Structure formats: C-alpha cells, structure tokens
Structure 1
Amino acid sequence: MLSLLTTTAGVGLALPWLAAAVVHTPTPPMGWNSYNYYNCYPNETIIKDNARGLVELGLSAVGYDVVTPDCGWPSKNRTADGQITWNPELFPSGFPALGEYLHGLGLKFGLYSGAGVWECTPDNGDATVGHEVEDAHTFAAWGGDALKYDNCWANIDTMIRFVDYNPSEKDPSVRFAAMSDALDSVNRSIVFSICQWGVGQDLGVWALKYGDTWRISNDIQDNWKSIWRIVNQAVPYVKHTGIGKYIDMDMLTVGLGALSYEEERFHFGMWAISKSPLVIGAPANASITSEESLAILSNKDVVALNQDLLGEQAQLIRRYTEEEYDIFAGNLSESRKVIGVANWSNSSKSVNIDLQLVGVQKSGNIRDVWAAKDLGQYEGAVKVDLKGHEAKLLILPVSAQLIYDVEPLYYPAATGILQGDAMSASCGGGCLPKGSKVTNMTVGSSVTFSNVSGGVLGGMKLIGIDYINYDVALASAWTNGTNTRNFTLSVNGGEPRRWSFPISGGDWYETGRLDVLLEGFHVGSVNELRVEAPGLDPGADLVGLAVYT
C-alpha cells in the first residue's frame, strides 16, 4: 500500500517509535568538517579560515553552520585532573575561545571524539571511552553544539587494531549509549552524531535510540564507485529514519576534484533526498574549490529537499540493473513528492517513469530541480533525458493519490526446486513466511518455482523479491566492495535478466524487498520462474517471491 504521509516538525517532538526521544535537530545537520581535505591535521588557522569562508561565500546563509575540527585536535594526554584538552601548538587560543569565535560568526561549534581508547590520529590523542561524563561537561562548557563520535581503537580491553570490523564486544551500542546518556545530563543541547561505520548488526535498531544521526558505512572515498557503495548501503534504513533521526552517508566529496560535474551533482542530490547530513569536506575557499562545485553546494532548491520538514528518506522503488538506472521516491511536506532518477551508466539515456510507481495517477506541474524549470503537467508517465552519471530530481505536486490494496500471490523460496548448493534454512521469526529462506546461493545454484500464476492476461508482471543481504562492505570498501549481491530471473525458459540487490536490513532475519518487472508470463498458473546466482560471487539469500497478477 502507498499512502501520503503528512506531519510537522519541531524541537522537542516525540518520535512515534521512540516516545522518550527528544529531537535535537529537526532537519539533517549541515556544516563543514576538516577531515576530507586536511585529514587528521587541523589547526586554529585552518578552522577559522574555513569558518570565515562559509560566511563570505554565502554557504552559511544556505544552512552550512556547524564547523567541526575532526581528528587530531587534542593533546596526546589529558590534564592532571583527567580532563580532555586541546593541543596548544595547534590551537593556541584554546577551544573555549574557538567556540566563541565561531558563535561570533553566527556558526556552531562542532566537536570530535571517539568511543575508543584513542582518536583516529597518528599521534593517538586521547578519546572519550571511560570519560564520558567529564568529557560531556567539558564539551558543554566549551560551547559545543554538536559531537561527532568515532569508532577507532574500539577494542578497549586489548587496545589492538586501529580499525576493527570484528570487535570482541557483544553489543556495539553500549559505548555509544554511555556517551548519549552523558550528553543528556548536561545543560546544553548537543547534536550527537554516531560514527560507528555500520559495524555489527541491527544498526538501524539501536542507533536511533542514542544518536541524532548515525553513520551507515565505511568512509567515503573520493571516487565514483564509492557513491554506488554507499547508496546501496543506505537503502534499508528508510524503515528506521524520520524527523530528528537521520542516516549519515558520510561527508561530501563535492569540490575535492575527483568527480565530474554530473557526478558531483549526482552525489549531492542523492545525499539530499536520502536526508543525510550535508557536511562539506572541501575547503570553503574559492581559490581552491571550483566555482561549479560551490554552486552545487549552494543550490538552495536541492538543499530544501534535504531540509524538508517531513524528514522522510527517499526510498528505492524500482531498480533496472541491466539498464543501469534506479528510481527513488519520497514524500515531501505540502503534499508533494520527490523523484530521483539515478543513471549509473556512463551513457546518456531516455527513460519513461510510470507515475503509478510513486503512487500518483495524475500530477500537476512537475519541477526539474537542477534545471530550475517547470516541465508541465503529466498524466500516466513522464519522460526524462539523462546524461551519463546524472541524477535527475523532480518534484511533483500530488493532485491524485493512488492507494494499492492488491494482494499478490506468494511463493516461499523453500517450496521451490533447489539445485546446486542451494539449501533451505531457518532465518527466525522475522523472516516470513514460516521463518525459512534459501541460502548458499553459490554460482550455478538456483531455485525454480513451478505453477506460477500469470493471471488472466499474462505478459509483463510486477514481482516482489524478498531477500536477505547483509554482505556489508567494510574492509572491502577500500577495494571492490559494493554492498550488493546479484540474481538472474527468467520466465518460462526465456533469457535470464540480472538484478543487483542492495543491503536489506540489520541482520540475517530482517528481510528486504526489491520490485522488478518481468516479461514472458502465460495466462493461468502454468508458468515457471527461475532464480539463479550469476557471476563469480554468491547471490543473496532468497525468502520468496510475490507475484502481482
């Protein structure tokens, strides 16, 4: 069922899924962070210069107001009474004075620490684990407005491995919950951004209890493949996000020079409609960061999508893997929708978007956000032309809303004919139906469904594929990790078609669904549908198929 959600936002709102929560940031935070350009080597001059740049370039007026010195700011050792402190050689004026300077510019003071023994820095400056209460009060006394809380040196018992994707702790939330509680105890509202990288299980379940934003992935890299990796990892969190609780897809690489103009717009647009914090990583300096990049960052219409008061993350509603484009959609305030059409291909293409995909039967004037022009009224479908690596953003004022109540016919994977290494397995009560799935879908393995209905018309059908994929790219993020698994599907012996399946949820018991269109169905319950694992890598775990006849 599709329905239009309407709500309002405001400080102090209680979230429906977390009654005790307080909203510190009704919309995703925006700001500037030193890490992407200056690494773990910030200093007072760098921070002040970029803060002034935000104001002088008009970026602060657009909403970029949180300035954060990232790793490398503290003294290697705490004071004699155990207080965290700044490195006086790097920050001679000190942090209370830096906070006053930023506030004097109309900006906010963002701080950085970590839930480990040391910071992520070559000199291993002290982090906060074990000192949560005193550090929270120190940060508040310094006038801190936000805290990015990292995950380096997380093995606090052994103090080995700077980055550990398989830590010894049983519950990753404990260290972050301690800091959340400490921040709640101070007499200052501080936005808490969890930077745990998506290690472990159930991130979407526990992080929203403690953080205002939470990082879902390993660090972004300044390349195109990193955008694909992170977008695929963001997909399942739509079920956990909302006003005051936002996924963090990491800092922006717009302006760092590796992406093309269209790729920078793609990157910025997808972060915006996903309701990720918009944190500039390039220098706020027109002599270093290009005019084109600064214009992308300053686009008020795209920023407005990110800052929309409904706070709804856009959802992947259709993937065309072989054609290399995706369609995302999300509700906006004032009875509007945003559609993101993401062309992953190097080539240009024209695509027709069925408006019913986003629950719209007839739309009023459609707005092309990047082009800043109206396209006119559409009924049934809208055609868009896409350049290579372009993400088109469209706003639709919804004049008619379709409600879908059609129940599909469901075919559990475990009832199919299994071949190769495929095997039936339990996946707990959250994996419906009957808690079963087909796993071990190695190359050459398949599940074949017989007597599948093609309805009274046959032809093309909408198929909902329930699957489980938690093959998160952590260490592999630095090489070829994509956060995807592949399947091919074929109908009645026809040519197999491939789909790439993004991360599906928090663990091997939480399912995801990808809707695809398949041709070649005959009338009646006489069809054979085959799911196979292609290529060199195994496919996802298959839970079942929903066939809309």
Structure 2
Amino acid sequence: MSHPSVPRIGRTVAGLGTAAVCSAGLLAAPAPASASPGARHTTRPYPNLATTPPMGWNNWSYYACRINEKVVLDNARALVRTGLARRGYDTVTVDDCWMSRRRGPRDELVPDPVKFPHGMAYVGQQLHRMGLRFGIYTDVGTLTCEKYPGSLGHFRQDAQLFARWKVDYVKADGCNVPVPRGRGKEETYRDLYGQLSSALRDAGRPITFSVSAPAYFQFDGDRVWHRVIGWSSELGNLWRGGRDVAGRKSSPATKWASILYNFRYNANLAELQRPGRWNDPDFLLVGDSDLTRQEMRSQMSLWAMMAAPLISSTDVGKLSGAAREILGNERVIAVDQDPLGVQGRIVQQGRDSTVLAKPLANGDWAIALFNAGDAARTLSITAGAAGLPEAGSYRLRDLVTGRGLRSDGEIVARQVPAHGTVLYRVTPG
C-alpha cells in the first residue's frame, strides 16, 4: 500500500522575493503557544551535548550537492588557517548528496566513491587531526531531500555506522516521510525522530543531534509547530525551526529577505529555547559577496543575540577581510556563547526596527538595535524598557567598533545604516 509522503518545505527560498516576505502577517510571527509534548510518548531526554550553541561550517547553502572530499577538507583547513576554528567554528558538517544512490550489500550507507574516494571515516580522521569535529547528514524518511537513501528502517544500523566513522554531529532532515493511513503527521515524525534519537544515544559515542522536524510544521498552525519544537528539544540538542536560508544562486534581495524572514520567526521563539537546547534559524551567509557589510554584521549580531548556532555556509578560503573580521569578532561570539544560555527577547518593535535584550552570565546585558529599513535612522530605548536593572548609570561598549560610551538611562544608536545593527554590551552601575 502506498502512503503519502511529506516533502521538504523548501530546500531554498527561491521565489521568496522581498515582496513576498514582506507581505502582511508573514514576518509578524505570533507569540509562542504551549510547547508541552503530548502524554502518549515517553522518551529519555537526549544527553546535553551542546552546552553552548554549536559553531562550525556546513556546505549546503553555498555548495549544495557540488560537494566532495576536497571541498570539505579545503574549507576545514581554511577554518584553521584563518583562526576561525580557534574562535569556536570547530564542527565541519557534510550535508546531503554525500552518499551513493543505493545502499551496499549489507544495506549499509555507502559514500559516493567519486566524491569521497577515501570514504567518510577518512574525512573524519582528517578533521580530527586538525582539531575539528566531524558532522554528517541523514534523513528520517525513505530518501533524503535530494533522493539519496534515507535512514528509515535503518536507524540503529546507520547510527552505529556513524559511530564507527567517529562522527561527532548528526543533522537529520525530514524529507520523504511516509505517513501511514490512520496515523497523523506529527505522530509519525515524532516516532521516527525518537527512533533515531534512541539509536544515536546507544551508539557508544557522544553525537550532537540536530533535529529538523519543526521545519516541516511551520505552516501547520502555531500550536502544533510549538508542540513539535517542544518534543524536538527532548530528542536532540538543537532544531531547525523553519525555512532554509537562501542558497548561493539566489539574488541579493532574496538572500537578505531570507535572513530577515528567519530572524523574525526565530526571534519570537525565545520562550521555547532553554540553555543547552537551541533554536536554529539556519546558516550564516557572512562571506557571501552578494551581501553588504551591514547585512553581514546584522546577521552575525542578530544570530548572536538569539543564542543561535553559528554555522557558516560559504567558501571559507575566499572570505574577504571584512567577512573574516565579522565571523571572527570575539566580542560578538561571546554574546552568542554566553554560558547563561538565554535567547535574547524582543523588547521594542517598530515597522522597520527591532530592539532585543539579552542577560549575560556576568551581570552585563547585550542590547541590539536593528534597522531593517532602507534608510539610516536613529534608534533608542530606555534601560527600563529594555529590562535592565536599575542603576545610576550604564557603561556601553559597541561590540563592532569596541568604542565605549556612558549613559544615564537611554541607550541610543545614532544613524544606524540601512539593514544595519548596533550591538552593545551594557554594564549597569
């Protein structure tokens, strides 16, 4: 009997132009509904293997299926050479299309012999020699999004194979999931991701688990979507919430629109994140030549404020000096990796502006003033409105320029450029 399958909501946002993104209601993500899982399922929480948001590199947005051993290892070497690995970008993940089209004689996943002639264990070995971690992609359905073999029916076998290859991180997509008659979509996804979660737990190696389930429920209604995020946070360490960020071949306007879209839905999910369990709004496009410096700074700053995984998807060896500086800004990275693990919250929202506030472990706060508009503007908020503790004065440090300021209670960013963000670290008193 054939079953309907659930396709991916979109490997890219091609066709999602600026006008579509800015249509009424699309960017105004609603407040979260209850995320408590249903009572029918009992699953041991996945080990807490990501005490801070994961950082690293993934090929998908830039290379898609044009991936091979050389591309992966060249980008890994570039992470080390540029110093980005020392700043935390230490997990190199091979996304879809690494496999052969058919499983092997023992039903095992087989690396494409042309793309990866030395096999995936070799790739992992080389990454570990560089001091990096090895990530790999699979899918809980019958096929991956690009129609390579999925893990459905092979969860334990594949998890054990990944462990033998010394994999440190698994990203599990949710394309081509058959939903049997008489069973709901959510129940099916929860069961399949639960099976893979258990298999990875029992594989004998600590493997950080990235769950893509919520991305397939973003348009099923907020109550369902947030509930799926709730059980995903029990099954894994981080989860993709919605659409993929735009790919390399998209227009500059589409790339910026996709960053804006992913920021605005994810910024409204702060209630559903908790320390060690991370909302993932997808890859950093910093380094893409189609983005302006202000747009690159904004994505980096906003992702840091949201305690989002910082996973670059570009050609690291061709990064401009500006892109290396933005990706490697240790002051901004520290906001993302702050051990308190709190996702920043929206404290002020205008038509084309957003202010977020985030408490930090040492008692400081991070404040981001984001101008999404097409003209420069001055943005401000009072310390009280931002939720800062009352104090006689506040010391501000611009985390991009390093410049220090002092305020008696109003936090101001003057003439923030179009698509720009000013990120302050604020010390009360």
Instruction: State whether TM-score is above 0.5.
Output: yes
One-letter code of the match for 2:384?
A: Q
Q: 1:333 to 1:59 in 2, by over 3 A?
A: same
SS at match of 1:393: strand
1:344 paired to 2:377: no
Q: 2:349 aligns with which of 299, 315, 319?
A: 319
Q: Report whether the alignment pairs 1:67 with 2:67.
A: no
Q: Which residue of 1 aligns with 2:312?
A: 280
Secondary structure of 1:60's counterpart equals coil
Partners of 1:72 and 1:389 lie apart in 2 by 34
1:380 and 2:380 are equivalent in the alignment: no
SS at match of 2:264: helix
Mapped to 2, the partners of 1:115 and 1:20 lie a distance apart of 19
- Count of aligned positions: 367
CA distance in 1 between partners of 2:120 and 2:44 (Å): 35
Contact conserved, 2:96 with 2:138, CA < 8 A, in 1?
yes
The equivalent position to 2:215 in structure 1, one of 163, 185, 198, is: 198
Find the residue that maps to 1:316 and give its secondary structure. Answer: strand
CA distance in 1, matches of 2:266, 2:308: 9
Q: Choose the corresponding residue for 2:263, options 231, 237, 242.
A: 231
For residues 194 and 428 of structure 2, what CA distance do their matches in structure 1 show? 41
1:168 CA displacement? 4.6
The CA deviation at 1:346 is: 1.1
> Which residues in structure 2 correspond to 1:148-547 (within 5 Å)?
148-155=171-178, 168=185, 170-196=187-213, 198-200=215-217, 201=224, 202-221=227-246, 223-285=255-317, 288-321=318-351, 324-360=352-388, 361-362=390-391, 363-376=393-406, 378-385=407-414, 386-399=416-429
Q: Distance in 2 between matches of 1:19 and 1:115?
A: 19
Answer 1 or 2: which has greater strand percent: 1
How far has the Cα of 1:172 moved from its partner? 2.8
- How far off its partner does 1:82 sit? 1.4
The residue that corresponds to 1:478 in the other structure is: none
Alpha-carbon distance in 2 for matches of 1:54, 1:382? 36
Structure 2 Cα separation of the partners of residues 342 and 398 of structure 1: 22
Q: Does the CA contact (< 8 Å) of 2:179 and 2:185 recur in 1? A: no
Deviations 1:490-510 (A, max 9, x none): xxxxxxxxxxxxxxxxxxxxx
Answer yes or no: is the 8 Å Cα contact 1:117–1:156 preserved in 2.
Answer: no
**Residues 19 and 333 of structure 1: CA distance in aligned 2, closer, same or farther (over 3 Å):** farther
Which stretches of structure 1, 4 residues or longer, exceed 3 Å deviation after superposition?
A: 18-21, 167-171
3-state SS of paired residue (1:208): helix
Instruction: Write out per-residue CA displacement over residues 6-40 of structure 1, whole angstroms, 9 at most, x where no aligned residue.
Output: xxxxxxxxxxxx99553101000001111111112
**How far apart, CA to CA, are the structure 2 residues paired with 1:168 and 1:335?**
44
Larger Rg: 1
Residue among 86, 96, 99 paired with 2:121:
96
Q: Does structure 1 retain, via aligned residues, the 8 Å contact 2:136–2:170?
A: yes
**Is the contact between residue 262 and residue 389 of structure 1 (CA under 8 Å) also seen in structure 2?**
yes
Letter in 1 for 2:135: G
Contact 2:395 2:428 in 1 (8 A): no
Is the partner of 1:62 in helix, strand or coil? coil
Residue 252 of structure 1 contacts residue 268 of structure 1 at CA under 8 Å; is this kept in 2? yes
Partner of 2:63: 38
Distance 1:374 1:180 in 2: 46
Please, which of 84, 87, 99 is the counterpart of residue 112 of structure 2? 87
- How far does residue 258 in structure 1 lie from its aligned partner after superposition? 2.0
**Aligned residue in 2 for 1:508:** none
The letter for the 1-side match of 2:382 is D
Give the conservation status (yes or no) of the 8 Å contact 1:194–1:211. yes
Match of 1:58 in 2: 83
Query: How far apart are the structure 1 equivalents of 2:286 and 2:48?
Result: 28
2:175 and 2:295 map into 1 onto residues whose CA distance is 30
Measure, in 1, the Cα distance between the counterparts of 2:64 and 2:103. 22
Q: Distance in 2 between matches of 1:129 and 1:327?
A: 43
Q: Deviations over 1:222-254 (max 9, x none)?
A: 511112211221133211212210011101111
Q: Is the 8 A contact 2:45 2:234 kept in 1?
A: no
Q: Quick one: structure 1 residues 354 and 19, their matched pair in 2 at CA, closer, same or farther if it must change by over 3 Å?
A: farther
Q: Which has the higher helix share?
A: 2
Tell me the secondary structure at the aligned position of residue 59 of structure 1.
Answer: coil
SS at match of 1:61: coil
TM-score between the two structures when normalised by the length of structure 1:
0.65
Q: Is the 8 A contact 2:61 2:246 kept in 1?
A: no
Superposed CA offset, 1:283-309 (max 9, x none) = 111xx3322112111111111111110
Would the aligned equivalents of 1:40 and 1:120 in 2 still touch at CA under 8 Å?
no
Distance in 2 (CA, whole Å) between partners of 1:95 and 1:185 is 21
- Residue 190 of structure 1, CA deviation: 0.3
On the 8 A contact 2:307/2:336 being kept in 1, the answer is: yes
Q: Which letter maps to 2:296?
A: E
Matched residue of 2:323: which SS?
helix
Equivalent residue of 1:198, what SS? Answer: helix
1:325 touches 1:341 (CA, 8 Å); kept in 2? yes
- The amino acid that maps onto 1:212 is N
Q: Distance in 2 between matches of 1:20 and 1:128?
A: 21
Contact 1:367 1:394 in 2 (8 A): yes
Deviations 1:453-482 (A, max 9, x none): xxxxxxxxxxxxxxxxxxxxxxxxxxxxxx
CA contact (8 A) 2:357 2:387 kept: no
Structure 1 residues 344 and 229, CA, compared in 2 at 3 Å: closer, same or farther? same
Q: Is the 8 A contact 2:344 2:357 kept in 1?
A: yes
Deviation per CA, 1:78-126: give whole Å up to 9, x if none. Answer: 11111112111111111111111100000011011011111122xx221
Structure 2 match to 1:146? 169
Query: Which letter maps to 2:359?
Result: N
| Residue 169 of structure 1: how far off its partner (Å) | 5.3
Could you tell me how far apart the structure 1 residues matched to 2:337 and 2:83 are?
17
- Measured after TM superposition, the shift of residue 198 of structure 1 is 2.5
Question: Unmatched 5+ residue regions in structure 1?
Answer: 1-17, 159-166, 400-549
